[in-house]
Each structure stands twice: as C-alpha cells, then as structure tokens.
Structure 1
C-alpha cells in the first residue's frame, strides 16, 4: 500500500486504484469455469446441485423465462427468498437481462417488503417457496400466483406492473446497476444502495488476489444472500473463482458442525454472533469443530472481540481473519491477510486498488474513515440528496465509522461517529465497552447504546447470557472496573433473552435505542 498526499483536513495512507473489470456483467464471470471445469459443482443446497455447465444452462433458460414474463433491461425485480440454488440462478439470470436484482430476506415483515416493492418500482416480485414458509405467506398475502420453474423450483409470481418504468441500460459495467440492496443502516431509515456489476465483480477479484477463494474451494453459504456480505462472498466470489458454494437458508450450530465434515468445507464466512453460538454448542455437546479440510475462516459484519477470536482459534484450530466493509462499499474495504495473520482484532490493511484516509482527526488520533475506489456504490436509488451527502465531489465515501490507522497500515474501527456516547464531556465508544462485556465468561454477546438524561448521556448495556449460565452483575461490574475508566461504566446492565438482530446477525442497535426511548425495555 502506497501513501499519497491527503487533502486538507484529512490524513492517512491510501492505495492507488488500478482495477479494470474483466467482464461486462456478473453472470459472465463463470464463463472460464464453464469452459474449463464444466463438471465441477458450482452451487448446491440440501435439495439439488448444479455443475458449472448446468448452471450456465439454468441461467440462460431462466433469463428466457423472465423475459417471457415481461422483464426488461433496467427493470427492478424483487426476490423474496432465502439462500438456495434457485435464488442464485435468478440473480445471475437477471444479470443476463440487464435487470436489477432486489434480493429481500423472507423474514422481513409484510410492511417492510411492501415498502421495498413500492420504492423500487418493481416490475415483478418473485417469492421462492422452497422450504421458506415466510416467502410463501408473503406471496399469498399479496396475490401472487403459484408457479414452478425448472431450475428455480416452486415460487409465487406477482402480477407484472405495466406502469413500471425501466431505468436506462448502461454498457459500462461501472455504471450499470446489478443489485439494489436495502439497508436500514444504524440510523434506522431505509436506504436503497445501487451496486454496479463492476462493484460486485471487484469483490470476486479481491477474493482471488488474496487467496480467499480459489478453484476447488468449498464455501459454506449461510450468510443471507439478500445482504451484501452474503451476495458478494456466497455468489460472486465462488462463481467467479471456480469454487463450490453450499447454501444453507438458516444458521443452526449443529448444521454447520455437520457440514464441516459432510461437505468437507474449506472456506467459512460468518458474523461474530454465529461463531459465538457454534463454539458454545460445541462445548455443550462435547463436539470437536476441527476438520482437516477447513483452511480459511473469515469474520465480518460486526466487531470481533479478542475473546471470541481466541475461542474460535482454539475450537477450530485455524486463524480467524477479520475484515471491514459496508453495503455502500460492496462491501470489502479492509482485510487481514492470509500471509500475515494478526493476533489483534484490527480489520487489517485496506485491500489493493482501494483508497482510504481519515477525516479531521480527533484528539485520540481517530477520525471518520473515508473510502474511494472501484468498490464504492453508484449511489442511493432515488435519493440524489443523500448520495451527495455521503459521497463528496472528490469521490470519497464518508462511512460514518471512526477508525485509527496503525503505522503498519492496519485499521481499527473504534465506533460510529453517530453512536459515540458523550458522558460527562468524555467520548465513550460503544465497541470498547462491548469488548470488555463480551470478555466476561457468562456473556454471549452485548450491545451498548446511549440514553439521554438531563444535561448528559448514560451508558446502557444490554447483554445476552450464555445458555445454562446466569449473570452475576456484581462480579461483572468488578470485572469491568478492571478494564474500563469510570466514565465508561454502564449506568445499567440489562439482561435480554435475545438481542434484536438482522438476518445477517448484525445487532440492531437502532431498535434498542427506540425501545429504550419509548420505555419498552
């Protein structure tokens, strides 16, 4: 990573972008493997498997079916689904038509899905019915009709909206939108992130450069493909690098443990909460999680604690790598390197071809992380005002995350600028308090938010307790006092049965703050 001069008011290292997409569209990335490894399994789930040659046929056939339905280039097509072979086929088939995929997790509420369909101006909505009762319920409630497509399976198809206006089709993959990803973000308001074909293909390229996914790898696919982390690492990464992905619609610790052996998984992607629960399950059941095939494990989507990293490496016998990204960056920005594993919980250096720097540094050396490069979104759909607030005139995306950059280039995320709790004039970073809480033996995971009081803000901690254990609050507070300054100590520690989380496993702090303000917690 090279250093270049930073604009006034900014500081930090950058790298020089040089990436040029090899293909024009996502579905084309599998072409080399269709030619060279036609019989290798590309995508599979509990019901079916498609080899690369079969996936190519499935994508072509399904694209024709969609076109016959009335889907055109520039149309938005909502997919209410969970991870499956059929979902992957639809995503690639929409790429072949230059239509925009709008993947939506079936576990969202009816109101949320209705809002997305309306905001996107969807031409048609498809509800995948294979093992997903929620998707079927949504489809039936909205009057969709039953169908069965050869390469997709059972689904419900909405009426075609004849009033839907297609967006212009751009030949340039850096301008043509591939996917529209809806995110609540940490601020609560729904936003639709436009990710281009080049954005997503860059992630496949980045995976390959860093030996994260290579030909013959077997990748576990449990992260929701309706979220950018799942979309990038469970579809784009594997099919563009000749790997096999095993889709699982719902995370269950026992299913992961079984798949490690039965599927001889080599690459594992997950969020910290997922890893914490599978480790706990392994301990409770006396089940070893070590397998000779697994060579790479990656954590992302939420802060990783030193305690969890150590527990994972002890349980699985391999290094747990860490990374940082966001929906608006497709998602990868920083990544620890396979060849240089780290003992700490930094997210590693910036990935090649992406630039980063810090906005006006605070007294502690942190600053808002700014990102520029081929991973940065096209913008927010139908929100040019919000896009202009987020991406400045020089192309820097303002992440809203506070970071520090070590002399060796490693980045540590210390919090969100909007989540800082100002207690008695001191800045309290929730992640720091959560790290200390999560290190306590009885705490499975935690979330820390601020609560406004007269002339001040209080630190409020919510904790989820490990199965079979109880929380000794006096012991926990004594534990915290050894690790935190007095002004960082929680005013209250509240035990909850389960922290609210998105399907990706990300804890929904906005919901906690809303419930706290409403007096519902």
Structure 2
C-alpha cells in the first residue's frame, strides 16, 4: 500500500513537472523545482507564458514583494537569465536552494550601472532579472533603481518585461510588515507580466513630451501592480475577496450612530437586504438610494450589487425638481430610504415630490423589522455568495450631474469601472490595513463613492462614515476620537474644519486627499503647519469613476493635480485663443459605459470611440504633472482675448484669503463679455485688484468690471460653488443696482462638479504667483 501511494505521488509530481515544462519551456530541473512551490502556494504560472521567452536583450523587472519571489523566478524564468539579487533575498534559505537553477549575482542594485558585467551580458543578447522593491511610493534611494534600469535599457537596447507574483506580499517571507499585510497559510499566488517593450515605447505610452524615462518605467510598474489585481469581478465579489484577504472578522465600517461592523456582519446584512431587493425588482433595474453617509448606506449599496441591481445614488441636496428628473431619466420605480434620515434632514417635501411622481419609497426600517430569523440564518451561511450573479461589465451605479444644463444626466458606471479605478488609485497612493479613512463626502458624489467608500473597503482600510460635510464644529471633534490616518475633502470643507479645529484634532492624519475644487495655497500651508499632514490634490470627473490623476508622496508638485493614473491615456487638442494649454481628452478602463439623458429615459448613450472630453484646458509638463488652466466654458472672451475666470478667483483669493469669491462672465455690448466678481469680503475694490495684477505681471483684463458683495456664496452638496444659482442672484442684484446687463454668458457645466480653474503662469516679480489647481469634479 505504501509503495502504491509513493508511486502515485511520484507520478503526480512528474505530471505537474511535465505540464510546467511544456507550458513554459523550462528545463526539467526547473520544472521539478516548481512542483513544491505550486503545492505550497497554489502557484499559477500561466500569466508568464506569453512573455517568458522574449528575445534578448531583455530585462525582467520583477516587483519583489517577498523573499520567496526570487526562488519562483529562478524556477520559472529562462535558465540563462542573470538574476541581480539583494543580500536580504539571497540569504533566504529557499532562495539559496534555488540559486543553482540559474545565474545570480549579489550586490547593491543602486550601483548596477557601474557593473560592466551586466552591460556586457545584455549587449550580447542576454536576459537580466532585476528585483524592484514593492513600494507604491518609493523613496529617493529606491527611485534611483528606476533611473538606473531605464538608462541600462537605453544603453543596451534591451526590452523590459514587468513581472510580479500576485499575493506574495501576504506570505510569511513578505517584506511588508505583518500589521500591514496579514499573513496567509496557503495563499494562491499567480505570476503576472506585461508585454515586452523597449524604453522608447514605454516612454511613448505616457507621451514623450510629458515624461522622463525613469517616470515612464515607474508608471509601467504601477500599471503592472494594478493589472495584477482581479479586475474582472463585480463589486460584491471584490468585497467578498477583500473579506477573505483581510479577514471576515476585521472591523471595516463605522459611523456615529450604529457603531462598527466587520466584513462578515456587513456582508450578512447585505445578503439579507439583497434577497428583498431582488424580490421587489427586475434584473438590472435601477433602484434609487436616498441615504446619508452611514453604515446602512454602504450595506444597502453592496446589497444592490449582490442582487444584480443598479444603485442609483440620489443627491438629496439637489432639490425636488432635479431628484424627480433623475428618477424619470433612469426609469426608477423604487427609491430606498430611511424615515429617521428624512425626519432629521427635514426632507419631507422631497419625499412628497417623489411619491407624487408615482415612485414607491421603501423604508429600510420596515424591511429590517420584517426580517425573519430564518432569513438571518440563511444569510449567515451564505454571506459570501451573491443572490444574483452579474456581469462585471454590466451597469452597477448611476450618478447624476448637478443639472446645470437643465435636466440632470445620469452617468452609468460598470462594476469593472469602479473596481479598476480603485486598483489604479491603490497603485499610485500607498495605503494599508493600518490606515483608517474618515469620509465626510456624500456617496452620491463620485469622489465620495469610489475614493471614500469603494477604495477603502476593497483594500482593508477601516472606513468611518460621517453623515454631513457641513458640520464644521463637530467634524474635528469626531476626528479627534476616531483618529483617522486619511481624510477626504474639498478645499471649502477643509478650510472650514481648520477654522474650528484644535491643533490636536487632526494630529493622527498621514495625508488628506483633496478633490472637487481647486485647493488654495493657504489651505495647503495651514494643514502642513498646524496638523503636520500633506494635502494630496487629485483630479477627475464622474465619467472616469472618477480619479484620473493624483499627487503622491513620491510624485508631488504644488499647483498641479498630480500625474495620470496607470492605464489612462491622454490626448490634448489645441483651443483657439488659448495659449499655454490645450483641451484634454481621457480614455481608459475606468471611463463610463455612457450617459442616461432625459430625452431618452433608460437608454444608455455610450461614447462614440471611448474618448471622453473633459472640457478642461490643461498644461502637462515634461514630468507628466498636470496643471489645469481652466474649464473651456469658464473663459471669458474680452476684447478678443481669453481670460480664465478661475485665474481671477485665485488672484482675488490671494488678496482676501479668509473670504469666498467667485468670478462670472456677463455679456457686454462693447467688449463682448465682462467679468463680475461676487465676494463675501467688504474690503474688495478694483484698484487693489488692479495693483495685484500689475505686481504679478498679469493682464489688466483680469480686473472685474463689477464687484457684488454677498453674505455667502452658494455651494453644491459636494462643496463646490453653485455657479448657476450664483449667476441668477448676481444678475438680479446688478439689475436692482441699475447696471446695464444684456444677458448672461456664464458657463453651464456638464459634469457634476462645476468649474475648476488655475491661471496661466505669470511673469514673476519676486512674489509667488497665485496658482490654483483643479480636482475631482
């Protein structure tokens, strides 16, 4: 019997080895060495097959997450590959045992260019494996390796093949601390690689004029990181995968009312609700979600994904007319809400309008009260299974524009759009399970939904949801108790919190991610000096799920919105009359399925060729940093010259930083258009603004023709200026004052976030030019 079992075991080992040899073309010794790795880690090598035998000279750029990675590569890569190992990896006992399978040298990789052996090896058509540290935000020393390898590839004409071993960061031999990457006893590893490409092509992928070779290689490795994630999952499946990776018992959700929830408890609650939602609706039907930032909203969102339904996030601050219009545009028959929320937020008139429209409102309190013990037990047993399976490319979420062009448009995002954008963001900004995120941005806003909920839940970051961003006095107090390391916000909200916060309230923060509007220099400095944290400004739009670019600790430039995320293509088109900037188009796997419009309710209208016109005028420098010069619709044409209204706002902001300001364009019979400044300061005068423009070397056309003092500047629910409401108020005030007004030429943005502008670079006269940058809108 024992001999028979031994014979079966030997036959099994031989079969696995033979299959790997046929699949990868390895030597028999390498194939045998792969067998124990496959048995211990469930290693899947198929991702390496297309690129393993790339013709030399070739550099395999390996993202080294664990000490075991070199052993896997020694067994899987061609046996003539020269592996450049660090002492930390080379001394590992398994790596030592596998070193005989190939060639290896051990030395400081930062000095690799000085080693003639490597250059000679590549020039002779050889293969090289270089191991990069697993750092989303590498320090300066680590970044030298990117410069070195990029230069080495250019000198020798070598192609580069990025390689990673997915999930090896959860091995016991991981370089990541255990508190940041929970260890797994029997992880499922998978080799993943990107196609071979020379440095010239890698640079071209990011735009030759917008990047350096080192940055291009860094972006290529970031693309490797995000594409190695399982992107073909529904949102519910990705949530379940996160629960299994970081532990079902891990506390992941918290709010101010219901307390904390673990992954498993959240998923059980989602399973219970999903059964009910599936019973009351059709497959793929859109159900409205009218809820505040709270645990219940997150559980409801994932319940809809489990049920195979679409979550249509309703903006309860948009007014009854816009909410009803959104309901009709998406053909919603049912809206999910909470009586407690409606009562506390005083939204009964909105509820009446919804019901008068013939739309049913389902109260979650009633659903919870009717749940039986049997339903709870069933959900506890099947918490990881969706109620209805869905296609990752199918619609998952509908978000609505702010209705500034009449009826709101619905932006339809797929499961894959959001899963991809979360992975893209995680590949650029370093987060881990040791972090906790404090989100005050509403979930009906794309930034609040993807960045403020989906991203942390899919990557093990504890999430604290706060119901309203307008509680300027309470939020710092809550943050002081919650001790978050990351916070999301807009400039308006962040400045408001700082005014009421004690220096210790935000002391726990590592960084703040700011979006939705330009972040002022004063706000940046305030958070740096008082709270010791950086504000990382990003940029995006709902149509891109939403993040397109973001600053990071490694790549950060004040006055910019950062560099484009991996996997996003950019196209610039010149705009007549505007110098130093061009109109930006974006394309990528995070770009929406299409629009829902009021004229064709329920019908998704896709983009023609996958490219989305952002409507922003931008400048991209030689390192890829994006500076947003303004919305194409927020330029005033005065006497034939284009003037950025956002530049005017930032100029005035530099004079009176404690107040709010907004610049508008109004039709003018003599010059075509003129600028009107709405401001809350009582000190504003044209002469002082004129002197400032002269000091900064800016055009006199930026000086407003009229100044209108207001008690406050109206804002949208996302915290951005409500230019439509403001335009109406300003026009009415100008008429009352007897000013000649021929009509409005104000912009009506087509995205849920409004305007975002920065001025062109000014001719400096020894003072800092007032810069602005634009963020997720």
Q: Same fold (TM over 0.5)?
A: yes
Say yes or no: does 1:488 pair with 2:707.
no
Q: Does 1:378 align with 2:600?
A: no
1:50 alignment counterpart = 261
Q: Is the 8 A contact 1:85 1:152 kept in 2?
A: no
Task: State TM-score, norm by structure 1.
Answer: 0.86
Whether 2:649 is the aligned partner of 1:440: answer: no
Per-residue CA deviations over 1:48-82 (Å, capped at 9, x if unaligned) read 121111011011111012123x1232101011222
Question: Relative to structure 2, which stretch is displaced further, 75-84 or 474-483?
Answer: 474-483
Q: Does 1:338 align with 2:553?
A: yes
- 2:473 matched residue in structure 1: 254
Deviates more, 1:308-317 or 1:217-226: 308-317
Contact kept in structure 1, 2:412 and 2:604, CA below 8 Å: no
Structure 1 residue aligned with 2:270: 59
- Preserved contact between residue 595 and residue 604 of structure 2 (Cα < 8 Å): no
How far apart are the structure 2 equivalents of 1:130 and 1:41?
25
* Partner secondary structure for residue 409 of structure 1: coil
Q: Structure 1 residues 129 and 23, CA, compared in 2 at 3 Å: closer, same or farther?
A: farther
Quote the residue 2:334 is aligned against: 124
Q: 1: distance between equivalents of 2:569 and 2:298?
A: 31
Question: Do the aligned partners of 1:443 and 1:463 also contact (CA within 8 Å) in 2?
Answer: no
Matched, 1:238 2:456: yes
Alignment of 1:19-38 (within 5 A): 19=227, 21-35=230-244, 36-38=246-248
Q: Distance in 2 between matches of 1:304 and 1:446?
A: 14
More divergent stretch after superposition (407-416 vs 292-301): 292-301
Residue 71 in structure 1 maps to residue 281 in structure 2 = yes
Q: Alpha-carbon deviations, 1:467-489, whole Å to 9, x = none?
A: xxx43535455445433421111
Q: 1:145 to 1:136 in 2, by over 3 A?
A: farther
1:236 offset after TM fit, Å?
A: 0.6
Deviation readout 1:290-318 (Å, 9 max, x if unpaired): 64421121111011222322223222211
How far 1:206 moved relative to its partner?
Answer: 2.1
Unaligned runs of 5+ in 1: 155-168
- Structure 2 gap segments, 5+ residues each: 1-201, 356-360, 372-387, 736-777
Shift of 1:260: 2.4
SS of residue in 1 equivalent to 2:340: coil
Aligned mate of 2:303, from 79, 93, 96: 93
- Whose relative contact order is higher, 1 or 2, with alpha carbons under 8 Å and at least 6 apart? 1
Kindly report which structure 2 residues correspond to 1:432-471, keeping only aligned pairs within 5 A, or say none: 432-441=647-656, 443-455=658-670, 456-465=672-681, 470-471=682-683
The total of aligned residue pairs comes to: 492
Alignment of 1:177 onto 2:372: no
The aligned counterpart of 1:157 is none
Q: How has the CA–CA distance of structure 1 residues 172 and 450 changed in structure 2, closer, same or farther, with 3 Å as cutoff?
A: same
Distance 1:293 1:153, change over 3 A: farther
Q: 1:188 to 1:482 in 2, by over 3 A?
A: farther
Partner Cα separation in structure 1 for residue 463 and residue 509 of structure 2: 14
Contact 1:433–1:488, Cα closer than 8 Å, also in 2: yes
2:249 partner SS: coil
Call closer, same or farther: CA 1:447–1:210 in 2, change over 3 Å: same
CA contact (8 A) 2:293 2:465 kept: yes
1:353-373 alpha-carbon deviations (Å, 9 max, x no partner): 111121125552311111010
Structure with more of its chain in strand, by fraction: 1
- How far is the alpha carbon of 1:112 from its aligned partner? 1.7
Whether 2:203 is the aligned partner of 1:2: answer yes
2:567 is the counterpart of 1:349: no
Once residues 209 and 407 of structure 2 are traced to their aligned partners in structure 1, the CA distance between those partners, rounded to angstroms, is 30
1:487-506 to structure 2, matched below 5 A, reads 487-506=701-720
CA distance 1:105–1:490, shift in 2 (3 Å): same
The 1:73–1:389 alpha-carbon spacing in structure 2 relative to 1, beyond 3 Å, is closer
Q: Distance in 2 between matches of 1:481 and 1:389?
A: 48
After TM superposition, the structure 1 = structure 2 runs for residues 82-161 of structure 1, keeping only pairs within 5 Å, are: 82-133=292-343, 134-140=346-352, 142-143=354-355, 144=361, 148=365
Is structure 2 residue 480 aligned with structure 1 residue 266? no
Between structures 1 and 2, the one with greater helix share: 2
Deviations 1:254-302 (A, max 9, x none): 22211222001111110110112122234xxxx2156442112111101
SS of the equivalent of 2:676 reads strand
**Alpha carbons of structure 1 residues 369 and 463: separation in structure 2 relative to 1, 3 Å:** same
1:385–1:323 Cα change, 3 Å: farther
- Secondary structure in structure 2 of the residue aligned to 1:380: strand
Contact 2:480 2:505 in 1 (8 A): no
1:66–1:225 distance in 2 versus 1, CA, 3 Å: same
Tell me the residue number matched to 2:645: 430
For residue 407 of structure 1, what is the aligned residue in structure 2? 622
- Partners of 1:427 and 1:334 in 2: CA distance: 26
Provide closer, same or farther for how the CA distance between residues 214 and 384 of structure 1 changes in structure 2, counting only shifts above 3 A: farther
SS in 2 for 1:340: coil
Q: What SS is found at the alignment partner of 1:320?
A: strand
The CA distance in 2 between the partners of 1:374 and 1:55, in whole Å, is 28
Query: Match of 1:377, SS?
Result: coil
Query: TM-score, normalization: structure 2?
Result: 0.59
How far apart are the structure 2 equivalents of 1:349 and 1:364? 21
Once the two structures are TM-superposed, the CA of residue 23 in structure 1 deviates from its matched residue by 4.4
Whether the aligned pair in 2 keeps the contact of 1:73 and 1:98 (CA below 8 Å) is yes
Q: Tell me, what secondary structure is at the counterpart of 1:71?
A: coil
CA distance in 2, matches of 1:139, 1:60: 27
Displacement of 1:135 after TM fit? 4.2
